[in-house]
Amino acid sequence: MSAPIVVVDYHKGNLLSAARGLAEVGGEAEVTDDPARIAEAAGVVLPGVGAFEDAMAYLRQSGQDEAILSAIGRGVPFLGICLGLQLLFERGDERCDGALHGADDPERWAAGLGVLPGSVSRLRGRLKVPHVGWDQVHLTPHGRVCPLLRGVPEGANAYFTHSYALDEDVDPLVVTCRTHYVRSFASAVWRDNVYGVQFHPEKSSAVGLTILRNYVDLVRGGGR
């Protein structure tokens, strides 16, 4: 690779686990907050740290949002992890003030990157939230042909830690995996060069390493 895989640093927590996971499968990864480095990267990983509205505010203020969109636009393999998956969508209801707004309240939503249509909303139900620990990912027909998930068996266990998830308005044609906790939600997506997973592959043992290895192959041009 002439340029490294970039792990986007949006100043919201420890991002090194994603970089270490990529290094473990032979990927050259650089953690950076520099929009120029993000825009010119061979691959872009947006990891899962922080809250939706807060993260988007930093991405916009820093210019990282435009750099990410530029990289995606030129066909760079993009991988969003946890919050990084959620930020790909049009809107989320995780606000900085922590307030819970009604379903019809226009103040409910914060705007995301808008790469994919749909919403992110809080998990609400009788089960404990946040959803933390190992859970199954169920492949859709789209998932069974997804290069990121090559070698991942149906019903594989992956590690989750989140309170928000993709909502029902997400296009089913981009959904590669579903997970059932509180409600059935899309736990992985794929469209063109854009991939996202709600779980943490860097914490998901052999299954996670398989996914990260597939991603590195995509960056190197061998995954499609």
Task: Give the CATH number, domain containing residue 10.
Answer: 3.40.50.880
Separation between Cα atoms, residue 99 and residue 102, nearest integer Å:
10
Q: How confident is the model at residue 102 (pLDDT cuts 50, 70, 90)?
A: low
Tracing tokens 């609400």 back to the chain, one arrives at: 124
Three-state DSSP class for residue 156: strand
Give the pLDDT confidence score for residue 123 in this predicted structure: 96
Q: How confident is the model at residue 5 (pLDDT cuts 50, 70, 90)?
A: very high
Three-state DSSP class for residue 16: helix
Q: How confident is the model at residue 224 (pLDDT cuts 50, 70, 90)?
A: low
Range of the domain at 98: 5-220
With a cut of 70, say whether residue 103 has pLDDT above it: no
Closest CA to 59 of 91, 84, 22, 95: 84
Which of 82, 94, 146, 162 is labelled catalytic?
82
Q: How confident is the model at residue 13 (pLDDT cuts 50, 70, 90)?
A: low
Report the pLDDT averaged over residues 104-110.
75
Which of 146, 162, 177, 202 is labelled catalytic?
202
Report the pLDDT averaged over residues 119-130.
94
Give the pLDDT confidence score for residue 28 in this predicted structure: 85
Q: How confident is the model at residue 104 (pLDDT cuts 50, 70, 90)?
A: low
With a cut of 90, say whether residue 11 has pLDDT above it: no
Report the pLDDT averaged over residues 55-61.
95
With a cut of 60, say whether residue 99 has pLDDT above it: no
Residue 207 region, left (φ>0) first, then alpha (ψ -120 to 50), else beta? Answer: alpha
Active site residue 82: yes
Q: How confident is the model at residue 1 (pLDDT cuts 50, 70, 90)?
A: very low
Active site residue 107: no
Q: How confident is the model at residue 12 (pLDDT cuts 50, 70, 90)?
A: confident
**How many angstroms separate the Cα of 82 from the Cα of each of 1, 31, 47, 153, 202?**
26, 17, 7, 20, 11
Strands (E), 52-203: 78-81, 89-92, 110-111, 116-122, 131-139, 156-162, 164-166, 175-181, 183-191, 194-197
Copy the structure tokens of residue 126. Answer: 């009788």
Which of 131, 142, 162, 200 is labelled catalytic?
200
Top pLDDT among 131 and 103 is at 131
Q: How many domains does the chain have?
A: 1
Would you say the pTM of this structure is higher than 0.75?
yes
Report the pLDDT averaged over residues 157-174.
97
Q: How confident is the model at residue 97 (pLDDT cuts 50, 70, 90)?
A: low
